[in-house]
Structure 1
Amino acid sequence: MKVNRVRQNVLPLVTAMIWGTAFVAQSVAAEYMGPFTFNTARAVIAFFFLLGLCGLRALWRRGRGEVPVSYGSRRDLIIGSLCCGGALSVASFFQQKGLETTTPGKAGFITALYIVLVPLAGLALGKKVPRALWLGVLLAVGGLYCLCVTEELTVTGGDLYVLVCAFCFTAQILAVDHFTNKVDGVALSCAQFLVMTAVSAAGALMEAPPPLELLPEYLGPVLYVGVFSSGVAYTLQILAQKDSNPAVVSLLMSMESLFAAIAGAVILGTRMTGREYLGCALMLAAVVLAQLPCPLGRKETRAGEAFGDGQKV
């Protein structure tokens, strides 16, 4: 039980820290290559990293005389990788496209809108949504207005791209929640990046390749996002969601917005206006308020029952 609590609470926070700092690396890489090219590179790196991890784990278990890892049925793994990888591919494209014209701090907070969207998805499943969540939605909308809408009542294209990515990440979180108990988590993560590689590579054919003479400038950010943000963090996400309430895990992962704002200010020296900071505060309040009915650290109902109704198994 204690191990489960650590996995369900610590792993999402580590994931959030990695994702938040990765916004800076993604912003730097966006200056040198298109979104499809960047996502192809990160997905390839993540796939081979996780493939090697699966191989090392199999050798380690064999050396200890343990039973080989069960990856679940091949059918579930294929369907799961297509669903998770497809959603991740689309979400990553819109996020990277948005980072071409918006700051890492703003992108982090707008992406974190999935914290409200995940519980709201329960409405489609006929589940009750607590009143506090509706107040959270209003706060999130107000926060998005302060963040994205300028004094001239216009919205930048980058903000809109990142807003779309929040909806796509919601779909990816729900897909992971559905398949994480059916297949091995590391195998699912590896397979979803194989799908992402294929999808992104098709789009990369339409983009100009990054200049090779500037390789030292963008190699570091690409490797960081490929190994840590993709290979490590998305695997931790899958492991954290196993037997967990997806709404609670998404709350903890949404702290990536704070890490993104801090990393952007420390590393890139970016600054937001007072109006944008107000938007961040409103969205953070929505994040917390949306999850008040869900007690942290407790084992909640699975995907169909875990969208804020507070019932335990």
Structure 2
Amino acid sequence: MKKLQVRNSILLLITATIWGCAFVAQSVGMDYVGPFTFTAIRSLIGSVFLVPCIWMLGKFKNTEKQVEKTSVETQKDRKELLVGGILCGIVICVASNLQQFGIMYASVGKSGFLTALYIILVPVLGIFIGRKPGKKICLAVFLAVIGLYLLCMKSGMLKIEFGDILLLLGALTFSIHIMVVDHFTQKTDGVKLSCIQFLVCGMLSAIVMFLFEKPSWTDIFTAWAPILYAGILSCGVAYTLQIVGQKGMNPTIASLIMSLESVVSAIAGWIILGQVLSAGEIAGCIIMFAAIILAQLPEKS
């Protein structure tokens, strides 16, 4: 049992690392293609990559009950999966493109930390569906506000930059996406749901891409490395590892490990792109990460 916990923890740590480094890929990709183009192609690649993953994961379901449920899938189940995939795809399309535009104006490290706010925003949004947060969550939100001030405000001025607003809106939308996914994964297969959502996200982004951008195959092929990383590793591999790694894990521990993507993004931006944060921004990152950890700690009964 302990070996399984260690293995799953390692898988989730790999997931966080892939997602953290994905911010670098997204930032580099903007040097060659537009944000809608990047999101459209990475999402479609991720959807295609998950098709064989669905087949392979199906092979691991050895019990007769699971096989029977898979082979005799009711029309209601298929409808639930389709509706969930479309809704999740629409939400993640908005979230991904907001994040992609935000990365154009902010450093990789700041983008990672602002995006990680979804971990705190999820319980806050829970208030609207009758889930009142405790004192711990309120304290976490307060700390996050302080961290945001240090991270976003320049020279002590009460001014948030345009990129920060986009990333914050992206974090809010990712929070909504998490709640929608949480609802539908209780009734449908998570990997199939992800495959459909990436397909919907890619198609919607492609429509906007042709309306507002001028994609060229030359630019796309030039940006093949960051696009493939974001599509295969971030969308495909990391999501599959998350599904496998979370099985049998304490949700609090799992969320805490995956929230390390914000730390990885800052380190990756510094090592790979040379994006150095100021002392105030580093302090803001530390405070925000402390808020993220605090939000994941269990409440005392």
Shift of 1:59: 7.0
Shift of 1:67: 2.9
Shift of 1:174: 1.4
2:105 is matched with: 101
- Structure 1 letter corresponding to 2:128: A
2:210 is matched with: 205
1:40 is matched with: 40
Matching of residues 6-17 of structure 1 within 5 Å: 9-17=9-17
Contact 2:32 2:223 in 1 (8 A): yes
Match 1:80 to one of 63, 76, 84: 84
Match 2:190 to one of 185, 194, 205: 185
Report SS of the residue matched to 1:129: coil
1:166 is matched with: 171
Matching of residues 293-304 of structure 1 within 5 Å: 294=298
- Structure 2 letter corresponding to 1:149: M
- Structure 1 letter corresponding to 2:53: L
Report SS of the residue matched to 1:67: helix
2:126 is matched with: 122
Shift of 1:245: 7.2
Report SS of the residue matched to 1:206: helix
Distance 1:171 1:246, change over 3 A: farther
Shift of 1:202: 1.5
Distance 1:90 1:153, change over 3 A: same
- Structure 2 letter corresponding to 1:46: G
Give the helix-richer structure, 1 or 2.
2
Contact 1:105 1:257 in 2 (8 A): yes
CA distance in 2, matches of 1:171, 1:245: 22
Provide TM-score, normalisation by structure 2: 0.87
Contact 1:104 1:260 in 2 (8 A): yes
- Structure 1 letter corresponding to 2:161: T
Q: Indicate the larger mover: 91-100 or 179-188.
A: 179-188
Matching of residues 1-313 of structure 1 within 5 Å: 5=5, 9-57=9-57, 67=67, 70=70, 73-151=77-155, 152-238=157-243, 249-292=254-297, 294=298, 309=299
Percent identity over the alignment is 45
Shift of 1:264: 0.5
CA distance in 1, matches of 2:253, 2:130: 19
Contact 2:46 2:236 in 1 (8 A): yes
Contact 2:123 2:131 in 1 (8 A): no
CA distance in 2, matches of 1:244, 1:94: 31
- Structure 2 letter corresponding to 1:79: V
Describe the superposition over 1:123-165 as per-residue Cα deviations: whole angstroms up to 9, x where unpaired: 2232342212211111100111111121233222111111111
Shift of 1:235: 3.5
Distance 1:61 1:139, change over 3 A: closer
Shift of 1:37: 1.0
CA distance in 1, matches of 2:184, 2:251: 12
Shift of 1:75: 1.7
Shift of 1:247: 6.1
Provide TM-score, normalisation by structure 1: 0.84
Report SS of the residue matched to 1:270: coil
CA distance in 1, matches of 2:288, 2:30: 26
CA distance in 1, matches of 2:145, 2:179: 22
Distance 1:93 1:242, change over 3 A: farther
Shift of 1:18: 0.8
- Structure 1 letter corresponding to 2:202: T
CA distance in 2, matches of 1:215, 1:176: 30
Contact 1:58 1:69 in 2 (8 A): no
Q: Indicate the larger mover: 195-204 or 68-77.
A: 68-77
Shift of 1:182: 1.5
Contact 2:33 2:220 in 1 (8 A): no
